[in-house]
Amino acid sequence: MWSSTFAKKVSTGPPRPELLLYLLRRRLSRSRYLHSLRVARLAVRLARRYGVDPDRAWVAGLMHDLARELSPEEASFWISRLPPEEREKDPVLLHGPVASLMLKEKGIGDPEVWEAVSLHTTGAPGMGLLALVVYVADHAEPGRSCRGAEAARNVAFRDLRRAALLLMEESLRYLESRGQPVHPGGREALLWLETWPGPVGSTSRGR
């Protein structure tokens, strides 16, 4: 369920940056498109700081919300193709796994990019450094004004783990204060980060 124009353009090899931007402009509202640009820019800066490939960070940061504004019909189509255990998530959290699947099927990115896109809403125990970079970039980009985002921005370039912890703790507090369910993956990611195996920037993933 890609546009025929875009599908034809990417079928001959990895898409150029302008093609990814073209795709996002067609699929996202202006505000979410601008959010995606800010996430990509911050992800690149964090990637350079922590020894992560900035090109992968740009693609994952840019495309993380690719599925955020799908029509109900498109969303149902892609959700039906997710593994059964993924479909059990709260529907609002499925845009990450769906976007990851969309990118994978068109050969955009690689397993690290797909993981980062898939996990950007909740995180997960053992998530890779690229996924952690994108998680922090998404929740702390300059357009975010909540208390947790500001605190995370203040420490992100000194301690990525601490920035992610601040964001996850704030997210859990927000959901619990409103009586909303907390995805188990979010709690597990928080517990994992509290016992991070080694310094930020290590390739150890605690698995």
What mean pLDDT comes out for the span 69-78?
A: 91
pLDDT given for residue 195 in this prediction: 85
Whether the predicted pLDDT of 21 surpasses 50: yes
pLDDT tens-digit series, residues 150-169:
899 999 999 999 999 999 88
Q: Which residue has the higher pLDDT, 79 or 87?
A: 79
What mean pLDDT comes out for the span 79-87?
A: 82
Q: Name every residue whose Cβ is closer than 8 Å to that of residue 148 and which is 6 or more positions away in sequence.
A: 139, 140, 166, 167, 169, 170, 171
Cα 132 from Cα 46, distance rounded (Å): 10
Q: Which residue has the higher pLDDT, 99 or 206?
A: 99
Percent of the chain with pLDDT over 90: 56
> Which DSSP helix (H) or strand (E) runs through 78?
helix 72-79
> pLDDT-based confidence at 181, cuts 50/70/90?
low
Cα 187 from Cα 172, distance rounded (Å): 8
Cα 40 from Cα 108, distance rounded (Å): 15
pLDDT given for residue 84 in this prediction: 81
Q: Which residue has the higher pLDDT, 87 or 198?
A: 87
Whether the predicted pLDDT of 2 surpasses 60: no
List domains and CATH numbers for the chain. 14-194 (1.10.3210.10)
Task: Determine the number of helices (DSSP H) and then strands (DSSP E) in the chain.
Answer: 12, 0
Asked if residues 177 and 99 have their Cβ atoms less than 8 Å apart, the reply is: no
Q: Which residue has the higher pLDDT, 49 or 172?
A: 49
Asked if residues 142 and 165 have their Cβ atoms less than 8 Å apart, the reply is: no
Q: Find, among 158, 170, 166, the residue nearest to 194 by Cα.
A: 166
Query: Quick check: helix, strand or coil at residue 183?
Result: coil
Q: Which residue has the higher pLDDT, 86 or 138?
A: 138
Specify the residue for token string 């509290």.
Answer: 194
